[in-house]
Structure 1
Amino acid sequence: MIKLISLDIDGTLLDGQGKLSKNNLEAIQTASRRGIHIIINSGRPLVAMVNLLETLMLIEPVITLTGSLILEKTSHAGWRELKSFPISQSVFAPIFPVVQANQLSTFFLTRNHDYVHHARTNAIYIQWFEDLMKRNDFTGYENLGVSPLSDYIHLELPVYKLMFCSDLPEEIHTAYQELASLHLPGLLVESSSDETVEIHDDGAGKKQAIEFLCRRMGIQRDEVMALGDHESDFSLIEWAGVGAIMGNAQTTLKSIAPLVAPSNDRDGVAEMINAYAL
């Protein structure tokens, strides 16, 4: 019997237009009413998840920043940290030259405040960037202006994830290869889309975060369902009792996944919940 469902957001729970379908919403709320824990498990920061959590009417822990920060809602409408994996800022120095050479925007993702530094500031690029943020419900970040990126090697706040963005897929691909070749100790480099590259602590991850919550809740591996669409979801999908990659995922992932769900544009989340959890 499924007792916990882990759901990625972009490319999984939301459709290709970034919308939550009525069928997905109803399936999630039905599962929640039956006592199944619905855990939103995303690379997004909390600020880009709050509106969705309110729509879903969930009062559960949330996994943010690809497992780097796990939070729990408190009775006074705040959030309490359950587990976190901050990045050592000593690694910023070798990273920044790669980012600057590929003209990427840099996000410093902290618990309550997010900061962005743009390598390019022309109007076309900024419009693309703002559209990207809107698609991901990402607001409230602070623009660091045009100061050199090296000015931010030491920040006062703990940074849980670095995210780099570009409107040019070839820049993202090159940056991913160059950052991975640095072999940064204790860090994992992931290309989460054609538009972004992420760096986080290698002790963090979506699978590790769900394992932590399962231990806390007394839930066994075979009582977990996990749905996602990307490489960062795959180890969790393989680990879960019922794990499925979305039909809109890359062909290489679908060819080796335990199950393939209908795509995010065909209510794949609702189909899987109805078939395996209800």
Structure 2
Amino acid sequence: MIKLLAIDLDGTLLDKGKYISKRNIAAIQTLKQRGVEVVIATGRANFDAQNIFKDIPFDPWIIGTNGATIHKPSGELFQSIPLEKSLALTMLETLEKEQLYYEAFIEGEICAPEYGRKLLFQEMDRLHSGNPDLDIDLLRLEVEIQFGQSSFQFIPSYQKLQDIDSDIYNILTYSFDDDKLKKGWSQFTDIQDVTIVQSGIHNFHLQHKQASKGNALKLLAEELQINLSECAAVGDNYNDLSMLEIAGLSAAMGNADREIKEACSIVTKSNNEDGVAHFIEAFLLENRG
């Protein structure tokens, strides 16, 4: 019997990157009424995830920044695994030298370079010019989602973070230039205490090697005295794999890559077809009475 369900946000619970459908909300509420702990596991910062649920009667545990933080339903920090500060600053310096857009996730804020907005739109225009059949509106939506996060601010340089007494939990790097993104990725592959994961085709995340959704789910399950075999997880991307692989029941979204689908017990519908609700209704509620 499943006692805990961990749900990713972007590409999973969120429709078109912004909204939670009424059907998904209803399915989650029904599951909670039947005693199942519902946990959000996202690459977003905790405060940004909380903002998504501000108008919904739902206060979940939140595994944030790809497992670097866990917050209680009250919003209190339960556990965190930040990057080593000097190492994080060195990596940010490299990203600035390479003119790559980044977001540094710190306590209560997401910091991006002032050149970021202009850079991403320039890269988007070049990509669309070379591939006119690409859906430019979809690319613009991606950028809108990035800049629409809660507590988002532009900073003149990563050096501003040197003087802020706050941990750096995660660094997101984002680019519409594939070659540039791959070159950036290659500069961090040999750093011993850092892991690199993707949450989309245009990004990668730099985080502590012990920070992952899977490790966070394991810790939270222990805290709630729930066996991993009694946990379910649903997601769509490579940053979800660590939790999908350890959960007793796992579901890949219909919009997930083949590798994600092959790693899961079940493939549900896409995020634009209420895939989370379909998974809950078809596989978690039918046998609970």
Q: What TM-score bracket applies, with the shorter chain setting the length?
A: 0.7 to 0.9
- The verdict on how the C-alpha distance between 1:95 and 1:261 changes in structure 2, with shifts beyond 3 A counting, is same
Partner of 1:66: 66
Range 238-247 or range 55-64, more displaced: 55-64
Q: Displacement of 1:134 after TM fit?
A: 3.7
**SS at 1:54 equivalent:** coil
> Identity of aligned pairs, percent?
24
Partner of 1:225: 232
Alignment of 1:1-278 (within 5 A): 1-74=1-74, 79-92=75-88, 94-96=90-92, 98-120=94-116, 122=118, 125=121, 132=142, 134-135=144-145, 137-145=148-156, 147=157, 149-150=158-159, 152-153=161-162, 155-180=164-189, 183-278=190-285
CA contact (8 A) 1:91 1:184 kept: no
Looking at structure 1, the residues matched to 17 and 224 of structure 2 have their Cα atoms a distance apart, in angstroms, of 34
**SS at 1:103 equivalent:** coil
Q: Displacement of 1:206 after TM fit?
A: 0.6
- The verdict on how the C-alpha distance between 1:213 and 1:121 changes in structure 2, with shifts beyond 3 A counting, is closer
Looking at structure 1, the residues matched to 42 and 23 of structure 2 have their Cα atoms a distance apart, in angstroms, of 20
Looking at structure 2, the residues matched to 45 and 87 of structure 1 have their Cα atoms a distance apart, in angstroms, of 15
Q: CA RMSD in A?
A: 2.5
Range 216-225 or range 124-133, more displaced: 124-133
Looking at structure 2, the residues matched to 126 and 99 of structure 1 have their Cα atoms a distance apart, in angstroms, of 17
Amino acid at match of 1:81: L
Looking at structure 2, the residues matched to 242 and 218 of structure 1 have their Cα atoms a distance apart, in angstroms, of 17
**Deviation string, structure 1 residues 126-169 (Cα, Å, up to 9, x no partner):** 89799546425503222112x4x456456421111111222333
TM-score (norm: length of structure 1): 0.87
**Deviation string, structure 1 residues 164-207 (Cα, Å, up to 9, x no partner):** 22233332232123322xx2222111222123221111111111
Q: Displacement of 1:264 after TM fit?
A: 1.2
- The verdict on how the C-alpha distance between 1:253 and 1:73 changes in structure 2, with shifts beyond 3 A counting, is closer
CA contact (8 A) 1:125 1:167 kept: no
Range 79-88 or range 170-179, more displaced: 170-179
Q: Displacement of 1:260 after TM fit?
A: 1.6
- The verdict on how the C-alpha distance between 1:51 and 1:139 changes in structure 2, with shifts beyond 3 A counting, is closer
Looking at structure 2, the residues matched to 247 and 50 of structure 1 have their Cα atoms a distance apart, in angstroms, of 25
Query: Unpaired runs of 5+ in structure 1?
Result: none
Looking at structure 1, the residues matched to 269 and 84 of structure 2 have their Cα atoms a distance apart, in angstroms, of 39
**SS at 1:100 equivalent:** helix
- The verdict on how the C-alpha distance between 1:266 and 1:43 changes in structure 2, with shifts beyond 3 A counting, is same
Query: Unpaired runs of 5+ in structure 2?
Result: 125-138
Amino acid at match of 1:80: E
CA contact (8 A) 2:38 2:60 kept: yes
Partner of 2:129: none
**SS at 1:197 equivalent:** strand
Q: Displacement of 1:64 after TM fit?
A: 0.7
CA contact (8 A) 2:120 2:176 kept: no
**SS at 1:198 equivalent:** strand
Amino acid at match of 1:135: I
Q: Displacement of 1:242 after TM fit?
A: 0.8
**SS at 2:53 equivalent:** helix
Amino acid at match of 1:203: Q
Looking at structure 2, the residues matched to 123 and 255 of structure 1 have their Cα atoms a distance apart, in angstroms, of 36
Looking at structure 1, the residues matched to 217 and 259 of structure 2 have their Cα atoms a distance apart, in angstroms, of 24
CA contact (8 A) 2:123 2:175 kept: no
How many residues are treated as equivalent by the alignment? 270
- The verdict on how the C-alpha distance between 1:194 and 1:98 changes in structure 2, with shifts beyond 3 A counting, is farther
- The verdict on how the C-alpha distance between 1:139 and 1:93 changes in structure 2, with shifts beyond 3 A counting, is closer
Range 90-99 or range 208-217, more displaced: 90-99
